[in-house]
Chain A
Amino acid sequence: MRIGTAKENYLHDAALFDTNVQRAWMVALAAALLVLPFISGQYIGYLVCLVLINIVSTTGLNILTGFTGLVSLGQAAFMGVGAYTVAILEINAGTPFLLNLLIAGGAASLVGVVVGLPSLRVKGLYLAIATIAASVILHFVFANWTSVTGGVSGLTMPPASIFGFELVQPNQVYWIIMPITVVMLFGAANLFRTRIGRAFIAIRDRDISAEVLGIRLLRYKLLSFAISSFYAGVAGGLWAYFFRVITPESFPLMMSIFFLAAIIVGGMGSILGGILGAVFMTMVPEILKMMVGVLSPIWPDAVAVMSPVRIIVFGGLIIFFLIFEPDGLAEIWRNIRRFFHLWPFRT
Chain B
Amino acid sequence: MQMRQVSQSARSIEPPLLNQEILAVDRVSLSFGGVKALSNVSFSVKEGSITSVIGPNGAGKTSLFNSISGFYKPSEGDVRFLGENVNKITAPERAERGMARTFQNIALFKGMTVLDNIKLGRHAHLKTNVLDALFYFGRARREECELRREIEERIIDFLEIDHIRNQSVANLSYGLQKRVELARALAMQPKILLLDEPVAGMNREETEDMARFILDVKEEWGVTVLMVEHDMGLVMDLSDHVVCLNFGKVITEGLPGDVQAHPDVISAYLGSGDVAALRKKFKEGK
Chains A and B bind each other? yes
User: How many chain B residues have a CB neighbour from A under 8 Å?
Assistant: 43
Assess whether B92 is in contact with A211, with CB atoms less than 8 Å apart. yes
Secondary structure type dominating chain A contacts: helix
Q: Is B145 an interface residue (CB 8 A)?
A: yes
* Residues of chain A with a CB closer than 8 A to B116's CB: 198, 201
- Give the Cβ gap from A304 to chain B, nearest Cβ, in Å: 47
In this complex, what residue of B is CB-closest to A188?
B134
Assess whether B120 is in contact with A216, with CB atoms less than 8 Å apart. no
Assess whether A213 is in contact with B120, with CB atoms less than 8 Å apart. yes
* Residues 214 to 241 of chain A near chain B (Cβ within 8 Å): 214-217, 223, 227
- Give the Cβ gap from A106 to chain B, nearest Cβ, in Å: 13
Q: Is A248 an interface residue (CB 8 A)?
A: no
Q: Is A199 an interface residue (CB 8 A)?
A: yes
Given A201-B111, A204-B111, answer yes or no on A214-B123 (Cβ-Cβ < 8 Å).
yes
Assess whether A205 is in contact with B144, with CB atoms less than 8 Å apart. no
In the docked arrangement, what's the CA distance between A74 and B100, Å? 37
In the docked arrangement, what's the CA distance between A197 and B144, Å? 12
Given A202-B120, A215-B123, answer yes or no on A227-B103 (Cβ-Cβ < 8 Å).
no
Assess whether B149 is in contact with A216, with CB atoms less than 8 Å apart. no
Assess whether A195 is in contact with B126, with CB atoms less than 8 Å apart. yes
Q: Is A20 an interface residue (CB 8 A)?
A: no
- Give the Cβ gap from A318 to chain B, nearest Cβ, in Å: 23
Assess whether B124 is in contact with A198, with CB atoms less than 8 Å apart. no
Contact with A along B84-119 (1 / 0, CB 8 A): 000000111101100011010001011110001001
- Give the Cβ gap from B154 to chain A, nearest Cβ, in Å: 14
In the docked arrangement, what's the CA distance between A202 and B133, Å? 17
Assess whether B96 is in contact with A214, with CB atoms less than 8 Å apart. yes
Which among B122, B128, B134, B152 has the highest number of chain A CB atoms within 10 Å? B134
* Residues of chain B with a CB closer than 8 A to A196's CB: 128-130, 133
Q: Is B282 an interface residue (CB 8 A)?
A: no
Contact with B along A4-40 (1 / 0, CB 8 A): 0000001101100000000000000000000000000
Assess whether B144 is in contact with A269, with CB atoms less than 8 Å apart. no
Given A14-B148, A205-B110, answer yes or no on A213-B134 (Cβ-Cβ < 8 Å).
no
Assess whether A198 is in contact with B107, with CB atoms less than 8 Å apart. no
* Residues 143 to 173 of chain B near chain A (Cβ within 8 Å): 143-145, 148-149, 152
* Residues of chain A with a CB closer than 8 A to B221's CB: none
In the docked arrangement, what's the CA distance between A201 and B113, Å? 11
Contact of B130 among A204, A208, A209, A223 (CB under 8 A): A223
* Residues 167 to 198 of chain A near chain B (Cβ within 8 Å): 187-188, 190-191, 193-198
Q: Is A212 an interface residue (CB 8 A)?
A: yes
In the docked arrangement, what's the CA distance between A80 and B213, Å? 55
Q: Is B140 an interface residue (CB 8 A)?
A: yes
* Residues of chain B with a CB closer than 8 A to A199's CB: 120, 123
Assess whether A194 is in contact with B109, with CB atoms less than 8 Å apart. no
Assess whether A194 is in contact with B132, with CB atoms less than 8 Å apart. yes
Q: Is A346 an interface residue (CB 8 A)?
A: no
In the docked arrangement, what's the CA distance between A194 and B142, Å? 11
Assess whether B109 is in contact with A206, with CB atoms less than 8 Å apart. yes
In the docked arrangement, what's the CA distance between A290 and B91, Å? 57
Given A204-B111, A206-B109, A209-B107, answer yes or no on A193-B123 (Cβ-Cβ < 8 Å).
no
* Residues of chain A with a CB closer than 8 A to B93's CB: 214
17 A-B contacts, Cβ less than 8 Å apart?
A10-B152, A11-B145, A190-B133, A190-B134, A190-B140, A193-B133, A195-B123, A198-B123, A206-B107, A209-B107, A211-B70, A211-B71, A211-B90, A212-B70, A214-B93, A214-B96, A216-B90
Sample of 17 more A-B contacts, CB < 8 Å, known A190-B135, A204-B111, A215-B124: A10-B148, A10-B149, A195-B126, A197-B133, A202-B120, A205-B109, A205-B112, A208-B71, A209-B107, A212-B71, A212-B100, A213-B95, A213-B123, A213-B188, A214-B93, A215-B92, A217-B92
